[in-house]
Structure 1
């Protein structure tokens, strides 16, 4: 087991489990999170016997997306947004294309950029108590990088509605629209079943299947660049920066402020 600042990584003979384990900031995504997750993916790719990488969080929180408090810090907001946006976009693309089955086990809350991790996963197992939302519009942002993956997974209208309303959906609704592949009160059982099947499929076959699927429904470099460019433009907007600074100061998100 490897205990990092943001993640706990557990290696088994045939798979790697990456647990988002920073409850002090609700498993938010920052530069440390991105670095450690990339390092964990490097590790599983270095082990030929690995068939699967598993992403999971705590029972209360899977991942709440970007760390908006840290997003308010930096001498050059545009440069910081560009760097973070590119790294996040690269991570989602890596999950969607890497020659391993990527499985998200979700028991708690998924918000914002956490939705991208789920949408870029090959398979999602979740409990009925799990909850999913895209609150970006409440900050004056858009889920720019998440949407291409989410639309691929659930279709245009479901992703569009979540973007516009910012309303959370239940585990049952997520299962109904295809965001969640299997709904169970015990996600460990889902993982056991997938591991049995994954052992019988060579990584080269997984890679070929993902490569072919991504050719049929591509997210090419132009889509990723457009997402990053739009994200950066929104991140440096004055009203958005004001919301970040207010949150960093008061720790009250926009949907709870008066």
Structure 2
């Protein structure tokens, strides 16, 4: 399969999924959501037990692609939310390997994964409120990982958390000087897990914690309402064309 925005390698049950839009900070557009869904299906079909998600270049993922939004592209929040649920609940161990910036929807991608590994270049931020939005679809995944109050604080403050602080909050499970070495140490243990055991455990976890299912309808409704708001659309277009935030003259 030829995907425009994703590069996939599978070897001995370990899949490396690379977001491949480095010129855009690996920002999420409709094509990336479709490509990720297709490649995750391929991972499952080929029996991958571990799926490692990472970004090309200097960023993990800059969030939603504002340039695409400003040009009129519609990103279906249901497709994105369900993709994150697939990472959270699918019959494999999902690992986010974060180097550089994870912002907005990039935080959602990481928080959806079973394990988050990061090097010291990583940062995690929710910038949506600066543009009159809030991270409706991210919050159920983030709150499940770090708790509702810390997710609330990140939403309101909009500042990026450095890797060390994110690790202290539980957003990062393990932190190291070199991401690839950190991943290798984890794979030495994870590769011994059998696929049936992983599938049973992940299904059990989803059944005993239904927060992602319960949060879905409200998150999608809020997302659609916000992106239909004319002022929000103006804020996004202005940022794309003038690189100015809404409060700047």
TM-score category (smaller protein) = over 0.9
Match of 1:66 in 2: 64
Match of 1:15 in 2: 14
Are 1:185 and 2:183 matched, yes or no?
A: no
Q: Hey, which bits of structure 1, 4+ residues long, moved more than 3 A?
A: 255-258
Match of 1:26 in 2: 25
Give the structure-1-normalised TM-score.
Answer: 0.90
Deviation at 1:51, TM superposition (A): 1.4
Structure 1 unaligned spans of 5+:
none
Are 1:175 and 2:173 matched, yes or no?
A: no
Q: How far apart, in 1, do the equivalents of 2:23 and 2:165 lie?
A: 28
Give the structure-2-normalised TM-score.
Answer: 0.94
Distance 1:32 1:57, change over 3 A: same
Q: Which moved further from structure 2: 167-176 or 186-195?
A: 186-195
> What SS is found at the alignment partner of 2:91?
coil
Q: How far apart, in 2, do the equivalents of 1:179 and 1:203 lie?
A: 25
Q: Which moved further from structure 2: 184-193 or 165-174?
A: 184-193
> What SS is found at the alignment partner of 1:32?
helix
Q: How far apart, in 1, do the equivalents of 2:195 and 2:121 lie?
A: 32
Q: How far apart, in 2, do the equivalents of 1:190 and 1:216 lie?
A: 30
CA RMSD in angstroms comes to: 1.8
Q: How far apart, in 1, do the equivalents of 2:136 and 2:39 lie?
A: 25
Q: How far apart, in 2, do the equivalents of 1:235 and 1:18 lie?
A: 29
Cα deviation per residue 1:70-126 (whole Å; 9 max; x = unaligned)? 11333xx8xx35xx1111111111111100000011110000001011000000110
Match of 1:96 in 2: 88
Q: How far apart, in 1, do the equivalents of 2:101 and 2:93 lie?
A: 23
Q: How far apart, in 2, do the equivalents of 1:203 and 1:225 lie?
A: 31
> What SS is found at the alignment partner of 2:172?
coil
Deviation at 1:256, TM superposition (A): 9.1
Counterpart contact for 2:16–2:53, Cα < 8 Å: yes
Are 1:114 and 2:106 matched, yes or no?
A: yes
Are 1:130 and 2:129 matched, yes or no?
A: no
Match of 2:39 in 1: 40
Structure 2 unaligned spans of 5+:
none
Q: How far apart, in 1, do the equivalents of 2:69 and 2:238 lie?
A: 12
Q: Aligned residue pairs: how many?
A: 249
Q: How far apart, in 1, do the equivalents of 2:212 and 2:101 lie?
A: 29
Q: How far apart, in 2, do the equivalents of 1:214 and 1:53 lie?
A: 18
Match of 1:215 in 2: 207
